[in-house]
Amino acid sequence: MAVRAAVAGASGYAGGEVLRLLSAHPEMEIGAVTAHANAGQALGGLQPHLVPLADRVLDPTSVETLAGHDVVFLALPHGQSAAVAEELGEDVLVVDCGADFRLRDPAVWERFYGTPHAGTWPYGLPELPGAREALRATRRIAVPGCYPTAVSLALFPAYAAGLVEPDAVIVAASGTSGAGKALKPHLLGSEVMGSMSPYGVGGGHRHTPEIAQNLSGLAGEPVTVSFTPTLAPMPRGILATCTARVRPGTTAAAIRESYAEALAGEPFTRLLPEGQWPRTAAVVGSNAALLQVTLDEAAGRLVAVSAIDNLTKGTAGGAVQSMNLALGLPEETGLPLNGIAP
Amino acid sequence: MAVRAAVAGASGYAGGEVLRLLSAHPEMEIGAVTAHANAGQALGGLQPHLVPLADRVLDPTSVETLAGHDVVFLALPHGQSAAVAEELGEDVLVVDCGADFRLRDPAVWERFYGTPHAGTWPYGLPELPGAREALRATRRIAVPGCYPTAVSLALFPAYAAGLVEPDAVIVAASGTSGAGKALKPHLLGSEVMGSMSPYGVGGGHRHTPEIAQNLSGLAGEPVTVSFTPTLAPMPRGILATCTARVRPGTTAAAIRESYAEALAGEPFTRLLPEGQWPRTAAVVGSNAALLQVTLDEAAGRLVAVSAIDNLTKGTAGGAVQSMNLALGLPEETGLPLNGIAP
Amino acid sequence: MAVRAAVAGASGYAGGEVLRLLSAHPEMEIGAVTAHANAGQALGGLQPHLVPLADRVLDPTSVETLAGHDVVFLALPHGQSAAVAEELGEDVLVVDCGADFRLRDPAVWERFYGTPHAGTWPYGLPELPGAREALRATRRIAVPGCYPTAVSLALFPAYAAGLVEPDAVIVAASGTSGAGKALKPHLLGSEVMGSMSPYGVGGGHRHTPEIAQNLSGLAGEPVTVSFTPTLAPMPRGILATCTARVRPGTTAAAIRESYAEALAGEPFTRLLPEGQWPRTAAVVGSNAALLQVTLDEAAGRLVAVSAIDNLTKGTAGGAVQSMNLALGLPEETGLPLNGIAP
Amino acid sequence: MAVRAAVAGASGYAGGEVLRLLSAHPEMEIGAVTAHANAGQALGGLQPHLVPLADRVLDPTSVETLAGHDVVFLALPHGQSAAVAEELGEDVLVVDCGADFRLRDPAVWERFYGTPHAGTWPYGLPELPGAREALRATRRIAVPGCYPTAVSLALFPAYAAGLVEPDAVIVAASGTSGAGKALKPHLLGSEVMGSMSPYGVGGGHRHTPEIAQNLSGLAGEPVTVSFTPTLAPMPRGILATCTARVRPGTTAAAIRESYAEALAGEPFTRLLPEGQWPRTAAVVGSNAALLQVTLDEAAGRLVAVSAIDNLTKGTAGGAVQSMNLALGLPEETGLPLNGIAP
């Protein structure tokens, strides 16, 4: 019998991607699809790419419409998930695509989000050490941010193996869907096409503490993170360029070996053959993360680059992957590995 | 037991898309993947988005490597399919993504292609009247051109119902993948980004006679076709704007009714609700064709617009859909209906 | 002594382009720059590309701020120009980039705009027969719409020479800046990148009657216009594909000759060598219009294609060109002919 | 009397941009325009945006065609400039847009370029301390690489003031025109649109030693450089994100003050108001460089970001700016400051 899932926030980009993946998932059945301002509208007018769901009408997001499902995906603005989750039964699997339950330190949460901390849920990045066990045992999942997913996958083998110093410098380029459907002037097509621009520079982006939390956990000591996100003229994709000084004695061979070992058997994370570097177009619509790493001997730095689709592996795909674990399904179930290219 | 398919021309865009679809098709198993200049290379370096097939090595395209499969997809340059097909057994299902067997009139073929006519195979556009029957009974399929697919789907209800005059004016915009991977200056990213440009203007494009053949067949009389293709700054997608003068007395209601009737039950062709127009981004990676039609009363013209993915419904998806029919499988098997958006 | 110009609506795309051109114009001095909602802000935050004007602060748009200039450019929403223009002296040259004074027939105006007709001003398309004389003698200029500019330049030689029938079919692709800075979901970068989509299909676009007015004036009889605009994934540029059935006996040579003759000596409109077709990237930032024309003998149609920059020749450049005429300056003064490519 | 300039390599992107700027330069007259494989062709077919030069025919690049000019711009593949320059008189101003004369250390040159070192010419980045004096006194100019221009402008105030440690980490995104017109598969529009990808990772890019040379010269000690270039889906523009650890005691106020001071009076380099970050679209076609800088206190790093047009300020604009100095003209002559946006 199919597992029934509801999707709250179905008119946004994250919610739409959850629906796309669920509708191709062999064990899932889509129940309520809900929205706030767009409630009452047909999905086809808002998400015309979801052809099989075009005639579904959006319900208002409420405990009533979300109740009675086995799984509830929350793709809501930050700060709204806790109230909804509380009202859903403890046996319901709640998968929060928002930030509310990602950070462990309440003080850090409050500094970056300005609201009281709602708590911490198991973190939906199965590739991190220990994560799969926690996800298999939970009914509450905090889906990671898209940048932290890309960065943590690129650097976890290095920090887990103690190859680099606790001072990471990261510059990442994201497609515009990462900024959502909000109507802001700088997100207009006329503004973003043909343009690269940074934002949240100097430590202000809310994904900075999440990246630091992940890397520090791996390193076993506090890791300083310099993180600069940039907006790229493409709808989807994250390219994360991540560097850290190598510890004395670290060789290129040791780096390669550590990455190969850490990624062995991973279903979605692929270390490319030496000399081939990731490109975001190769993972559009896919749950794969493509990685490459090298040693810059002159600069004394490890440079790791990852490419993911911010909406798939970076949000909805990571969510479904974690859901699979929590439901006891094979982790890969229903998740595309091929990208759409060119 | 799985049906085994070989793909010749696997390093190109059409071949890559066939592989993407086959690798997600529940009844198919991918056998030989072959290429010409790229034989001997790993697929992962050429088609990095085909993550599960990354380590497959390309065989040379030859009768030997293609033999022993149930289905052979040919994604070869025009003029090479006939020689290969002849050597494959009559019981092998040969699906030709090239132009060689699309046109019925040898004189027209020779005028547009400059080589002797190889013959005519059943035409892989199941939505056209009579096409499904022919496809179910064949071991040879001529996959339509991408533009003829988009245009024929937009206009077949109008011509089948006799609503318009036999003089169609069509302007279509295509993503650059329609031009393939050939290294030509005008296809460089620096040249295509930020630019729209026409080509093959004035009747010279090779898809013009194929469109005329389809529309004339539907109309039961020769249809004159003015066709202008344009290159758009996007990798995938065709938007076809198709107009013809309406016959006296044709009403908007009659047009809508004819379209609704002609498209009823079609698994991949969707007439959008009135007022909503197709956009190519909604069908990226999908086998769906989105349609809309209206009557311009002041101009006395029917205007029909279709959006397809040139590589999916316009090539590889149409090929697999037709293959399903020839294999006796449900027509929709393994074919995505959701697009990847945004 | 410099001519002083004010620009109303300076925070929008049209107003920004007027400022870009004026700041490079050897005879002009920029006076007041005004806006509505953005009044009080520095221009640098809104139009960061106007580097030399970055510290200019926007005044509110009002008769007070606009008074005392030799020239006033109005880049306001439709319907607001008449009230402003009335208050400015008759000796002030008013150049209206909006639609208010373009159409001659009040009934047509009211049908398409829904408001009372404000009047008709000399039409700022100097290339049309008779236009230069009218522009040299006026203090009021109605700048044409961007699509009507592209289409009229492509077809005026054909209609002026009586080569084609009074039934034109036009499909045009425009960059997104043509839609302005309005915050609408379908104009978000995530929506427009990778997508082509039509709008105003079936005769509803407000530029349709303006195109018909121009072509009818040239033909000396009413010309029926089927016009389909499409939104292309690029910030700037219009590619207009324009066709009409040729009158019996019209030859390719006659067409070419008519175009060459009609365009001889034109400073901004260039008929390309045979076989070369216009591309929008070649005219980005330029006041040039590139044209090509051919005869499709099989379809019995003339096909003319033009490429312009919608903001330059299609709006602000056309405005400055017309202004030059009205001021008695050489028509080319201060206007770029080179495009920015690639 | 006009200064006569020849442009060698006029069919490429750099040569085209030199021509665009020269044709708008009030003191310059364009003499020979030359090419190698494209000699004999009209410029209009190769550079259709250079409308006023469309009918100019390309001469072959040779000492004969280049002789007799006051200025010769060389936009040739690396390694070809020395032979040409030797044959031109010592009184001819030779401006080399290639790499041949940029590096001072022959061993470094040979390691990165694999050929014997041709020498070192005055470096055409007037904003660097001492550069203007050298440029005013020379007949030979080495135009900097596009990335070194962007990075050096972003970091020179920091290194000149001793604010940061000699260990810079730089990630830069470039438009595809930086890779030139070479026909390579990864530069096809189908491949670059919608994709970000790194290249030359780990210290291999040839601009790395040029960046290190510039920063080391400013710091007065060897500066280690980790430089990762990435290819962005846009035709033009570089966004350089540059970080280095601040020296103990460096405050945000000291950083800002140093930048303001270092950039005071610079005609093309603009420090944006606090809180506003550079975007590449704002400098398309412009010789401006937009900068912003901040202190990331948590990470202990200065982060400086610059945006330039790789073909204008990054190549041809920088070349003309340096030429102006060498010719004794005002440095800004003929150079656009406004960008083309949106």
- Looking at chain B, the number of H-run helices and the number of E-run strands are 11, 13
What DSSP letter does each residue of B6-75 carry, written as one string? Answer: EEESTTSHHHHHHHHHHTT-TTEEEEEEEESTTTTSBHHHH-TT-GGGTTPBPEEPSHHHHTT-SEEEE-
DSSP string, D97-150: -SSTTT-S-HHHHHHHH-S-------BS-TTSTTHHHHHHT-SEEEPPPHHHHH
Q: Which residues 253-282 on chain A approach chain D with CB closer than 8 angstroms?
A: 277-282
Chain D adjacent subunits, 3+ CB pairs under 8 A: A, B, C
Q: Is the dihedral of CA C75, C80, C84, C90 positive or negative?
A: positive
Question: In the prediction, which pLDDT does B150 show?
Answer: 98
Residue D132 and residue D136: Cα distance in Å, rounded? Answer: 6
Token pair recorded at residue D49: 């945006």
Q: Is B16 on the interface with A (CB under 8 A)?
A: yes
Q: What is the pLDDT of residue C210?
A: 98
Where does C49-145 have alpha helices with state H? 63-66, 81-87, 106-113, 131-136
B1 has pLDDT over 90: no
The H or E element spanning position B255 is: helix B252-263
pLDDT value of position B22:
98
Does the residue A181 lie in any domain? yes
Q: Which residues of A touch B338 (CB under 8 A)?
A: 20, 23-24, 49-52
pLDDT tens digit string along C264-286?
A: 999 999 999 999 999 999 999 99
Banded pLDDT at B71 (limits 50, 70, 90):
very high
CB A243 within 8 A of CB D226: yes
Across the interface, whether the CB atoms of A49 and B236 are under 8 A apart is answered no
Does the distance separating the beta carbons of C276 and D48 come in below 8 Å? yes
Q: Is C182 on the interface with B (CB under 8 A)?
A: no
Whole-number Å distance between alpha carbons of D309 and D174: 9
Answer whether B341 sits within 8 Å of A16, measured CB to CB. Answer: yes
pLDDT at B26 over 80: yes
User: Using CB atoms and an 8 Å cut-off, which of residues 127-156 of chain B contact chain A?
Assistant: none
User: Do D162 and D124 reside in the same domain of the chain?
Assistant: no
Closest CA to A109 of A132, A79, A75, A137: A79
Predicted local distance difference test score (pLDDT) of residue A189:
98
If you measure CA to CA, which chain D residue comes closest to B232? D189
- Please check whether residue B333 lies inside any domain of the structure: no
Nearest CA of chain D to the CA of B185: how many Å?
A: 7
Measured CA to CA in angstroms, residue A248 lies from A9, A164, A254, A301, C194 at distances of 49, 9, 12, 11, 46
Strand order in the sheet with D71-74: D59-60, D28-35, D3-8, D71-74, D93-96, D140-142
User: Which chain B residues are Cβ-neighbours of A52 within 8 angstroms?
Assistant: 337-338
Distance from CA of B87 to the nearest CA of D (A): 32
B76 shares a domain with B16 = yes
Contact flag C189-A185 (C-beta cutoff 8 Å): no
Burial (CB count within 10 angstroms: exposed 0-12, middle 13-18, buried 19+), residue A86: exposed
> What pLDDT, on the 0 to 100 scale, is given for residue C47?
98
Chain C residues with CB inside 8 Å of B233's CB?
232-234
Chain D: closest CA distance from residue B38 (Å): 13
Q: Which residues of B touch D285 (CB under 8 A)?
A: none
Q: Are residues C155 and C199 in the same domain?
A: yes
Q: H-helix or E-strand containing C296?
A: strand C289-296
Residues of C in contact with B230 (CB under 8 A): 173, 239, 241
CA dist A240 and D49 (Å) reads 35
Closest residue to C195, CB basis, from B279, B299, B300: B279
Instruction: Residue B86: give the domain boundaries.
Output: 3-143+315-327
pLDDT tens string D252-277: 999 999 999 999 999 999 999 999 99
The reply to whether residue B297 touches residue C196, judged by beta carbons under 8 angstroms, is: no
- For chain D, say whether A173 makes contact (Cβ under 8 Å): yes
Which ipTM value was assigned to this complex? 0.97
- The active-site residue, picked from B146, B255, B271, B283, is B146
* Same domain as B139, residue B22: yes
pLDDT in tens, B192-228: 999 999 999 999 999 999 999 999 999 999 999 999 9
Question: What pLDDT was estimated at residue C273?
Answer: 98
Please tell me whether residues B289 and B321 are part of one structural domain: no
Contacts of D262 (CB under 8 A, 6+ apart): D156, D157, D160, D161
What is the DSSP code string of D274-288?
TT----GGGGTT---
What is the average pLDDT value for chain C, to the nearest integer? 97
Looking at residue B199, which CATH number applies to its domain? 3.30.360.10
**From C175, C191, C228, residue closest to B303, measured CB to CB:** C228
pLDDT reported for residue C64: 96
If asked whether residues D36 and D107 sit together in one domain, one would say: yes
C-alpha dihedral sign at D256, D261, D265, D266:
negative
Residue D28 is encoded by which pair of tokens? Answer: 């310059």
CA dist B192 and B188 (Å) reads 6
Touching B (3+ Cβ pairs <8 A), the chains are: A, C, D
**Whats the size of chain B, residue-wise?**
342
Is B335 part of the contact surface with chain A (CB cutoff 8 Å)?
no
Q: How far is CA B150 from CA B172, B173, D56, in A?
A: 9, 11, 42
Closest by Cβ to D193, choosing from B13, B183, B193: B193
* Cβ contact, residue pair B339, A13, below 8 Å: no
Residues in chain C: 342
The reply to whether C288 falls in a domain is: yes
Strands D301-308 and D289-296: antiparallel
Among residues C233, D41, D53, which one has the least CA distance to residue B192?
Answer: C233
Asked whether residue C201 falls in the same domain as residue C289, the answer is yes
Angle between helices D207-219 and D146-160 (to 10 degrees): 20
Are residues A117 and A65 both part of a single domain? yes
From chain A, pick out residues whose CB is under 8 angstroms from the CB of D196.
173, 232, 234, 237, 239, 279-280, 307
Q: Is the dihedral of CA B119, B123, B129, B135 positive or negative?
A: positive
Nearest chain B CA: its distance from D342 CA (Å): 11
Contact A281 B44 (CB under 8 A): no
**In this structure, what CATH number is given to the domain that contains residue D95?**
3.40.50.720
Catalytic residue among A74, A76, A146, A311: A146
The answer as to whether A101 is a domain residue is yes
D-chain CB neighbours of A243 within 8 Å are: 169, 226, 228
pLDDT means per 10 residues in chain A (342 residues)? 95 98 97 97 98 98 96 95 93 98 98 96 98 98 98 98 98 98 97 98 97 98 98 98 98 98 98 98 98 98 98 98 98 98 97
Shortest Cα–Cα distance, C290 to chain B (Å): 11
List Cβ<8 Å contacts ≥24 apart for A100-103: A100/A142, A101/A140, A101/A142, A102/A142, A102/A144, A102/A145, A102/A148, A102/A210, A103/A209, A103/A210, A103/A213
The beta-carbon neighbor of B183 closest among D177, D185, D193 is D185
Chain D contact set for C47 (CB, 8 A): 341
Given a contact cutoff of 8 angstroms between Cβ atoms, the answer to whether B11 and B35 are in contact is: yes
One domain for residues D98 and D199:
no
Contact C188 A181 (CB under 8 A): yes
Using CB atoms, pick whichever of A13, A281, A288 lies closest to residue B51: A288
What Å distances lie between residue A133 and A98, A129, A328, B95, CA to CA?
22, 9, 11, 47
In Å, how far from its chain's centre is CA C221? 24
Q: CA–CA separation, A336 vs B338, rounded Å?
A: 13
The predicted model gives C151-169 an average pLDDT of: 98
Instruction: Identify any residues that bridge with A198 across adjacent strands, giving them in sequence order.
Output: A230
Domain count across chain B: 2
φ/ψ of residue A285, rounded to 5: 80, 0
Inter-chain residue contact D189 with B187, CB threshold 8 Å: yes
Q: DSSP states of C91-108 as a string?
A: TSEEEE-SSTTT-S-HHH
Whether residue A62 sits in one domain with residue A177: no
Residue B278 lies in a domain: yes
Q: Are D225 and A278 inside 8 Å of each other by CB?
A: no
The verdict on residue A332 lying in a domain is no
Q: What is the DSSP string of C194-242?
A: T--EE-STTTTSTHHHHHHHHHHHHHTS--EEEEEEEE-SSSS-EEEEE
| Å between D124 CA and nearest CA of chain B | 26
Chains touching A (3+ CB pairs < 8 Å): B, C, D
As a whole number, mean pLDDT of residues C82-103 equals 96
Window A:199-238, CB contacts with C under 8 Å: 233-235
Which chain B residues are within 8 Å of A42, Cβ to Cβ? 273
Only one residue has tokens 């029957």, namely B133
How many whole angstroms separate alpha carbon D28 and alpha carbon C2? 25
List of residues 6+ apart from C98 with CB closer than 8 A = C74, C75, C76, C77, C78, C79, C80, C81, C143
Q: Alpha carbon of B270 to those of A10, B147, B263: distances in Å?
A: 22, 18, 7
DSSP state string for A208-264: HHHHHHHHHHHHTS--EEEEEEEE-SSSS-EEEEEEEEEPTT--HHHHHHHHHHHHT
Q: What is the pTM of this model?
A: 0.98
Residue B50 domain-assigned (yes or no): yes
Size of interface C-D (CB pairs under 8 A): 110
Residue A1: the pLDDT is 72
Cα gap D14→D29, rounded to integer Å: 18
Shortest CA distance to D172 belongs to which of D153, D194, D198? D198
- What DSSP letter does each residue of C153-186 carry, written as one string? HHHHHHHHTT-EEEEEEEEEEE-GGGGTT---GG
Q: Is A146 a catalytic residue?
A: yes
Q: Would you call the peptide bond into A342 cis, given omega within 30 degrees of 0 as the criterion?
A: yes
First to last CA, chain B: 37
Chain A residues touching D296 at Cβ < 8 A = 201-203, 226
Cα–Cα distance, B304 to B152 (Å, whole number): 10
Hey, of B177, B193, B284, B311, which one would you mutate to test binding to chain D, going by the most D CBs within 10 A of its CB? B193
C239 with B197: Cβ contact below 8 A:
yes
User: What's the pLDDT tens digit per position in C28-44?
Assistant: 999 999 999 999 999 99
Domain match, C180 and C39 both: no
**Which residues contact residue D94 at a Cβ distance below 8 angstroms, ignoring those fewer than 6 apart?**
D71, D72, D74, D85, D88, D139, D140, D141
Instruction: Answer yes or no: do B18 and B52 share one domain.
Output: yes
CA atoms within 13 A on the CB side of D50: 27
Rounded CA Rg of chain C: 19
Q: In 3D, which of B176, B168, B182, B190 has the Cα closest to residue B245?
A: B168
Question: Does residue D334 form part of some domain?
Answer: no
Contact C226 B303 (CB under 8 A): yes
Residue C45 to residue D276, Cβ atoms within 8 A: yes
E strands, chain A, where?
Answer: 3-8, 28-35, 59-60, 71-74, 93-96, 140-142, 164-174, 197-198, 224-231, 238-246, 269-271, 289-296, 301-308
pLDDT at B296 > cutoff 80: yes
Hey, what are B313's tokens? 């419904």
Asked whether residue D1 carries a pLDDT value surpassing 90, the answer given is no
